[in-house]
Amino acid sequence: MAQVILFLQQLLNGLSLGSIYALIALGYTMVYGVLRFINFAHGDVYMLGAYAGFAITNVIYTIIPLDQYNAISRHTFIPIFVCTAIVMLGAMIFCAILGMSIERIAYRPLRDRPRLTVLITAIGVSLFLQNMTQFFVGAQPQAFKQLIPVRAIEGLGDLTVLSSQAAIIISTIVLMVFLRLVVMKTKIGLAMRALSVNPTACSLMGVNNGLVISFTFALGSALAAAAGILVAMDSPSINPLMGNLQGIKAFVAAVLGGIGNINGAVVGGLIIGVLETLVVGYSNELTTLFPALHYLFPEGVSQFRDAISFAVLIIILLFKPTGIFGRVEREKV
């Protein structure tokens, strides 16, 4: 029974972690869907979302120091919720604008150029954002102040679910539902889907491609910002280079699910999150099975877990590059 509980625990941790990857992966996948290009700078938008939230939180603290609250109860719920919502929305709006600006300035002028040109630009934007942030705030990690008190939720027996994990999972579900509504039920969502199939036909049908693309970037960036805030709840240390690792993992998640496919990004994110947690959680058992692992990763767990995403990426790209839900698009000869 204890084994089962342990497994469920890992699963839960994995889902929480995977939700973050899913949120970021959605940005990659939606942009790829409408523009057929990997937005290298997306991970850095996520990072800036965390920093935006950091700034807003600090402002809020001058009015209400949220760390006075030790638990979520009937009295504390409203102020905590409202403040957190303000931080999230603020960061999401900031990143939406940021994402749209990047697209306007750096990517849109290159829409008719070879895809390689835009990729190089994206690399430039990514490096620029990281290093400018580092220049202005310093390379040292900053501590994100508490938004919600991180405590284990009562009444779940041996299962430990932190309030932050619950917040992550609940927020992600809410955002997913919102996204699905937008993509499936609104006109602009329809335009996004149409654009990912045939841009030329879209503009011929009177769709303002530019507007839809801007909207896509705004949406993806906002989700990344949400991810940034949620991550900060769980592990409050933020630094200018945090977008790199998370970005790559989220990208792998998007590819795993089938890049361009929204469901795929979510599924991919959850799979990677769960896989990572399980491998780390059972690393002792795995090292017993594969002694070579201990030699390769003597520094232990954290390098191990980062290597998993790379390994998954290489395996997918070698064996099933279109991912789980992806469609093979043939080049017309």
Partner 1 sequence: MSRARAILGIFLLFLFLFALFVERPLADNLAYYYDILINIGINIILAVSLNLVNGYTGQFSLGHAGFMAVGAYAAGSWSEHLSPSLINFLAGSNGVLTFVLKPFPFLQALPTMCADNLALVVATIFGGLLAALAGLAVGIPSLRLRGDYLAIVTLGFGEIIRTLILNIDFLGAARGMSVTGRYTNMFWTFGIAAVAVYIVLGLVNSTYGRGFLTVRDDEVAAEAMGINTTKYKVIAFVVGAFFAGTAGSLFAHYTGFLTPEGFNFFKSVDVVVMVILGGMGSTTGVILAAILLTILPELLRGLAHTDFVPVFQKAIEGVVPIHLPPLQGLLENRLILYSLLLIIMMLTRPQGLFGDIAGSRKRVASSPAK
Q: Is residue 154 at the binding interface for partner 1, with CB under 8 A as the rule?
A: no
The CB-of-58 to partner 1 minimum distance in angstroms stands at 16
Report helix, strand or coil for 238.
strand
| Of 236 and 260, CB closest to partner 1 | 260
| Of 1 and 333, CB closest to partner 1 | 333
- Contact between 212 and 195 (Cβ < 8 Å): yes
Q: Give the per-residue contact string, 164-203, with partner 1 (x = CB under 8 A; - = no).
A: ----------------------------------------
Report helix, strand or coil for 140.
coil
Number of helical H runs and strand E runs in the chain: 13, 2
User: For residue 300, how many other CB atoms are within 10 A of its CB?
Assistant: 12
d(CA 100, CA 106): 10
Give residues 254-273 in contact with partner 1 (rule: CB under 8 A).
255, 259
The CB-of-202 to partner 1 minimum distance in angstroms stands at 15
Closest CA to 323 of 263, 275, 235: 263
Closest CA to 103 of 40, 186, 51: 40
| Of 104 and 180, CB closest to partner 1 | 104
The CB-of-288 to partner 1 minimum distance in angstroms stands at 20
Q: Is residue 125 at the binding interface for partner 1, with CB under 8 A as the rule?
A: yes
Q: Is residue 18 at the binding interface for partner 1, with CB under 8 A as the rule?
A: no
Give residues 197-256 in contact with partner 1 (rule: CB under 8 A).
248, 251, 255
E-strand ranges in 33-104 read none
301 contact partners, CB below 8 Å, separation of at least 6: 280, 283
Q: Give the per-residue contact string, 277-316, with partner 1 (x = CB under 8 A; - = no).
A: -------------------xxxx---x---x--x--xx--
- Contact between 168 and 20 (Cβ < 8 Å): yes
Near partner 1 by CB under 8 A, which window of 55-63, 181-189, 277-285, 325-333? Answer: 325-333
Q: Is residue 59 at the binding interface for partner 1, with CB under 8 A as the rule?
A: no
Report helix, strand or coil for 12.
helix
d(CA 260, CA 155): 41
Total binding residues for partner 1 by CB under 8 A? 52
- Residue of 55, 89, 106, 194 interacting with partner 1 (CB under 8 A): 106
276 contact partners, CB below 8 Å, separation of at least 6: 14, 17, 249, 305, 308, 309
Positions that interact with partner 1 (CB under 8 A): 36-38, 106, 109-110, 112-121, 123-128, 130-132, 135-136, 248, 251, 255, 259, 296-299, 303, 307, 310, 313-314, 317-318, 321-322, 326-333
